[in-house]
Amino acid sequence: MKKAFTMIELVFVIVVIGILAAVIMPNTRTNPVREAAIQLVSHIRYTQHLAMLDDKFDASDTNWYKKRWQIAFVSVSGTTTIASNHKIAYTIYSDSSGSSSGDANFDEIAKNPENINQVMTGGYSGTDKRLQINEEEFQGMKKLNIGMSYGITSLSFSAECKVSGSHRIAFDYLGRPIKGKLGGASGSGNAEAYEDDNLIQTNCDITLSDGTTPVVIRVAP
């Protein structure tokens, strides 16, 4: 006589598997804040990589240091109108055109190495629809808008790497991190004074949060 499972035994096994799945699955789900942090770490390193490859020194230009590669964080609505639903995004660029105003123009933004038809911004304010995430003409990367893509509601810099309201980090040709807006240092026009004032000397902490879960990224000097 062949042995077989009874219907009751099969139901019991299915119930046990269901209970185990309910216990285990929440622990295997991804955490959006951690995903955003992992992505951001990768892009901070990529900004450093660009800066080390592309030394901006030019003895004939007193403002050459303003053109260093940087990663800048902004709060954008995605349109030219002022809205209450601003989302946190970041942009990787070299402020190389014109008078180096501190703002990113489309042609100054790094190309996505995986798709040269995209630039590395999650949205930027201004009138250029190519940089506005909710416009059809948007040519950036939606994942760089960590507010929309990962639910990040707050981003803060520690005092060691924050200059006034500026949330950005640049790098020199040695890969050293520099805090603040590149044109805002004392001794404007003097690269030596700029570096003395703004090189990050102690650990710089960037905190991301979705309102409940904070994750800290540390940029070492």
Pairing of strands 115-119, 111-112: antiparallel
Pairing of strands 177-179, 204-209: unpaired
User: Cα 142 from chain centroid?
Assistant: 11
How many Cα atoms occupy the beta-carbon half-sphere of 86 within 13 Å? 16
pLDDT over 80 (residue 177): yes
Mean local confidence (pLDDT), 84-92: 80
pLDDT of residue 186: 46
pLDDT of residue 118: 94
pLDDT over 50 (residue 220): yes
Q: Which tops the pLDDT comparison, 132 or 163?
A: 132
Mean local confidence (pLDDT), 167-171: 92
Per cent of the chain over pLDDT 70 is: 76
Asked whether the beta carbons of 172 and 221 are under 8 A apart, the reply is no
Distance CA 145, CA 105 (A): 17
* Lowest mean pLDDT segment, chosen from 21-30, 100-109, 148-157: 21-30
Cβ neighbors of 169 (< 8 A, separation 6 or more) are 44, 47, 70, 71, 161, 177, 178, 179, 200, 204, 219
SS3 102: coil
pLDDT of residue 187: 45
Specify the length of the chain in residues.
221
Residue 186 DSSP code:
S
Q: Partners of 178 in the beta sheet?
A: 170, 199
Best mean pLDDT range from 74-88, 100-114, 138-152, 172-186: 138-152
Residue with tokens 């703002």, as numbered in its chain: 103
Asked whether the beta carbons of 74 and 83 are under 8 A apart, the reply is no
What mean pLDDT value characterizes the chain?
81
**Which band of pLDDT confidence, cut at 50, 70 and 90, is reported for residue 181?**
confident
Asked whether the beta carbons of 122 and 145 are under 8 A apart, the reply is yes
